[in-house]
Amino acid sequence: MDGLENIKQQIEGRGPVEALTLLAGQFPGQIIFSTSFGWEDQVITHMIFANNLPIKIFTLETGRLFPETYYVWNRTMEIYGKPIHAYYPNNERLERMVNAKGPNSFYESVENRKECCGIRKVEPLKRALAGNKCWVTGIRAEQSADRQDLGNLEWDEQNNLIKFHPIFSWTLDEVKEYIRVNNIPYNTLHDRGFPSIGCAPCTRAVQPGEDFRAGRWWWEDQSKKECGLHEAHK
């Protein structure tokens, strides 16, 4: 993508807030951050809201989130007094799937699970990203071996925009310390062994020694554990 290397040079060596400020200036009204209210996303939300950065924050309301996730969502809006935009599944597609296969068809096959993710997450994401030029995410390198080969800035061919991961090189300890120092609300499921929190029926706690992603779609083969939001990171 033309200009990607130039942007990389501009943000090289800058801290997350400084880099976000630069990108917000470079893409006015066309930069967006997706949150699922996990540790990393709460850190970035704080950076955006506390510094009044002109970056729209949105979430995918799948309809199957944990009660703890809804609590953090509401608490975050109360504390910062700023909106978090919700994108819902297309009701006709969702109703058609549930009417034909029931509410828990995703347990029956990988195909069914990907259909559910496609309706509840992937299609709403495409609507959320439409018209934007920069997508900010909470991805960190140490979350999986596949992600360690990436950089903090990349071109997303699937969605035709730049992706920026402002805390890409942070460790989990750094994330948790930032939350503690800044008194940021976070999902208490993290304290109960949930490193990655998605839809309630598809997420469980991780046992000591298990992989970071072991709690997502645990009934499936390890190599198939993607929902389609970050296809490049399979």
Tens of pLDDT, residues 117-171: 999 999 999 999 999 999 999 999 987 655 555 789 999 999 999 999 999 999 9
Q: Which residues contact 76 (CB under 8 A, 6 or more apart)?
A: 37, 42, 45, 84, 185
Residue-level pLDDT at 149: 58
| CATH number of residue 53's parent domain | 3.40.50.620
d(Cα 6, Cα 12) in Å, to the nearest integer? Answer: 10
What total of structural domains would you count in the chain?
1
Contact present, 108 and 116 (Cβ < 8 Å)? no
Strand partners, 216: 203
Residue-level pLDDT at 200: 96
Tens of pLDDT, residues 65-117: 999 999 999 999 999 999 999 999 999 999 999 999 999 999 999 999 999 99
Residue-level pLDDT at 124: 98
DSSP category for residue 205: P
0.75 surpassed by pTM: yes
**Exposure class string for 157-173: b at 16+ Cβ within 10 A, else e:** eebebbbbbbbbebeee
Residue-level pLDDT at 233: 40
Model confidence band, residue 209 (pLDDT cutoffs 50, 70, 90): confident
Strand partners, 32: 56, 135
Active-site residue set: 227
Residue-level pLDDT at 142: 86
* Cα torsion 124, 30, 46, 168: sign: positive
Domain extent at residue 171 = 4-233
Tens of pLDDT, residues 188-206: 999 999 998 999 999 999 9
Half-sphere exposure for 71 (CA within 13 Å, toward CB): 8
